[in-house]
Amino acid sequence: MTKTQKPRRPVPPAKKGRRPSLVAAAELLLEIGVEELPYHFIAPALAALKDSAEQMLKDRRLAFQAARTLGTPRRLTLVVEGLASQQTSMIKEAMGPSKAVAFDQAGQPTRAATGFAAGQGVAVQDLQIRRTPKGEYLFAVKQEQGRPANVVLKEFLPQLIAKLTFPKAMKWNSTGVRFARPVRWLVALYGGATLPIEAAGITAGNRTEGHRVLGSAKGIPVRNYESYLKGLERQGVIPDPQRRHHMIEEQIATLCKKAGFTLNVDGDLLDQAVYTTECPNAIIGSFKPAYLEVPQEILITSMKEHQGFFSLRHKETGKLVPHFIAVTNNRAKDMGLIREGNERVLAARLADAKFFFDEDRKVKLEERVTKLAGVTFHQKLGTMEKKQQRVRKLAGFIASSVRPHDGELKQACERAADLCKADLLTGVVGEFPELQGIIGGYYAQHDGESESVSKAIRDQYFPRGMEGRLPETLQGKVLALADRLDTIVAFFQAGIIPKGSEDPFALRRHALSIVRIIVEGKVRFDLHKVVEKTEELVEGGVRGGTSMLSDSFNFIVERFRFYAGTTQDLRDDVIAALTNVTSYEDREFDLVAALDKMKTLQEITLKPEFDPLIVGFKRVHRLVEVEKKTKTWIHKPVDPVVFKDPAETELHRQTEKCRKDFNHQMEQGQYQKALDALVRMKPAIDAFFDAVMVNADVPAIRSNRLSLLQEVDDFFNSFADFSQIVVQGG
């Protein structure tokens, strides 16, 4: 290329809206056949398989219409419809050295140009010169032709399989591949033709396996997705989880209608039934009515956790009945044998549960308390005995904060706290840890404790984050708050805090539960003082950390912000105005009041007179904040004698007058009327700035005017930090 040669023109980009040329499309079917997977592995694996496949196809420029996944305990299946037979071609451009560097004075290409061309795989004479904002530069432009889809898929599918991850994985052969369970067969078809990919030491073919019992040992040949579905169904497999879900619901509804019972609905148990079966078949069974003497929570949990059975209730009374529904993975001529087998296994489980329940009640909860010294709460946080002692003191403190003169409430809360962790040492909780608290409530009642104490123990672990009911009684709410506050502060003081998505001790959930109990349960107290008290109780009982009160307190406040924005549809600036407080030494932090104030503030921001008021207030606030930073002015009480303009006198008078009305309304919880008192300040503020120059030449006058503005600023801030409110022109 010489100076006399004209640079090649760049390839014009495709016009917008131009439809690409039609490319033949076909169907892709991939099945990973495995030993039975744990049911809770399947749904996440199918979601990951679909997402990864879609992304990898896009990255490889293989157009497709739709992708979906199917799955059973023995198979993970991907189906891609309308998959292009060839990659989309693309034009690649790369910028190289500048024209000045690429050519010598004679116009001949330098090593910079030839090296760039060689690196890009193009001839030097095919390089283009383009003008850029930086000057003229060399560009390499080349068209990359799309490869056939079957070639790309042979590379892509083994990578897709290898990308799947599971909570637990295993190795089973010399390949060293890790998967949730051993891979036993692969099916890979594109356009009806087999793709002989290899993964986990297995070469893919066109034969799948049917149901372990109902299917043929020879397997099933597969031509396409349609033959795949029909072939599996003939051999006892329903590969679509949604269809199995619908089948199970219909079967259960039919059984319940015939028997006159209602289902004890459990979404998790239904998912378990869907992902533990390939051929779901629901049957109804029974157990001895004598077992109904055991608390229903124990029976329900035993049926669910040990056997995956659904419990049933009487249609009229709602009480548990001695029957269950099991979803089997079989379809036999005589289902009676299967039902009898399930009844025998369940009878043994319920007998164990009744034995634990009867044996536990022979020892009172109070007698178990001392043994909590041998139960570790956390290696850095001491024993469960120490935690229970802290919770007792904190529960009493919260009770006194909520109702200062209610000795019975405090006594009941402290008694409940004394016994609240004792059920950890019982046989039932050892067998069913999820029944902590609930069982303690039953045993407390059996031991003769008061109803308020028993219910508080029962409800101490409610709610569980954003879901679930609150504790029924005030005593239960106090105990639940004390337990969770102790947990959060203790972990923070030990330096064990949530980071990013990691929260192994569910501290965010605990904090959200605290917010819900306080706000939805209308439990009124100063949260900051209670957190201070919690730290005081925790201090000394925790190893490996330093005081992190502000962090644990702000952690809870952050969950409060999340709750307010999520459940109440409040604006971020309104939430910030009521939670952006740097010091709580001279004010209390009552979440119930704060949320009510947020709602009221958001309502008043919609009024036309509010924006001009806040614009005036922000002017006040900025002047005061600037003076504070310069440290040339010291706030002193306002001296009316120093006033020189009637506007100063009027602003001072309105501040005093409105503050009295404001304070009265705040004491009554009438936040709308309190804000109305602030709104009445607008004319006086506007008149002040129209008539008065704050930075007067006389220091005493200037200082007095700044003190007056400080009073106005403090007055507004006693409700909220109005500087956070976003207004047009503010």
**Mean pLDDT of the 229-241 span:** 96
pLDDT tens column, 634-651: 888 999 999 999 999 999
CATH code of 25-87+148-234, in short, is 3.30.70.100
Token output for 167:
């909570």
What backbone phi and psi angles, to 5 degrees, belong to 532?
-60, -45
In the predicted structure, residue 549 carries a pLDDT above the cut 70: no
What top-level class would CATH report for the domain 599-724?
mainly alpha
pLDDT tens column, 181-224: 999 999 999 999 999 999 999 999 999 999 999 988 888 999 99
In the predicted structure, residue 2 carries a pLDDT above the cut 60: no
> Which residues 6+ apart lie within 8 Å of 491 measured at CB?
378, 381, 497, 505, 507
pLDDT classification of 121: cutoffs 50, 70, 90: confident
Domain borders along the chain are 25-87+148-234, 90-144, 241-353, 367-567, 599-724
How many angstroms from the chain centroid is the CA of residue 327? 31
pLDDT at 634: 80
**For the ranges 84-98, 477-491, 535-549, the one whose mean pLDDT is highest:** 477-491
pLDDT at 5: 42
Q: Which of 360, 335, 193, 174 is nearest to 255 (CA)?
A: 335
pLDDT at 170: 96
**Are 217 and 46 a contacting pair, CB within 8 Å?**
no
In the predicted structure, residue 90 carries a pLDDT above the cut 70: yes
What backbone phi and psi angles, to 5 degrees, belong to 427?
-65, -40
pLDDT tens column, 333-364: 888 899 999 999 999 999 999 999 999 999 99
pLDDT classification of 581: cutoffs 50, 70, 90: low
Cβ count near 720 (within 10 Å)? 24
**Mean pLDDT of the 328-334 span:** 87
pLDDT tens column, 103-115: 988 889 999 999 9
pLDDT at 550: 57
pLDDT at 566: 94
Q: Which of 581, 595, 435 is nearest to 516 (CA)?
A: 595
Residue type, 126: D
**Are 425 and 360 a contacting pair, CB within 8 Å?**
no
Looking from the CA of 262 toward its CB, the CA atoms found within 13 Å total 10
pTM attached to this predicted model: 0.81
Q: How far is CA 57 from CA 28, 60, 191, 276, in A?
A: 12, 5, 16, 31
pLDDT tens column, 177-187: 999 999 999 99
pLDDT tens column, 416-442: 999 999 999 999 999 999 999 999 999
**Mean pLDDT of the 223-236 span:** 96
Residue type, 581: V
pLDDT at 584: 59
What top-level class would CATH report for the domain 367-567?
mainly alpha
pLDDT at 1: 44
Q: What is the DSSP string of 481-547?
A: HHHHHHHHHHHHHTT---BTTB-TT-HHHHHHHHHHHHHHTT--S-HHHHHHHHHHHHTTS--S---
pLDDT at 16: 41
Crossing angle for the helix pair 39-59 and 241-259, to the nearest 10 degrees? 150
**Mean pLDDT of the 148-169 span:** 95
In the predicted structure, residue 712 carries a pLDDT above the cut 80: yes
In the predicted structure, residue 534 carries a pLDDT above the cut 80: yes
In the predicted structure, residue 296 carries a pLDDT above the cut 50: yes
Least-confidence region, from 110-119, 244-253, 466-475, 548-557: 548-557
Cis ω for the linkage preceding 182 (within 30 of 0): no
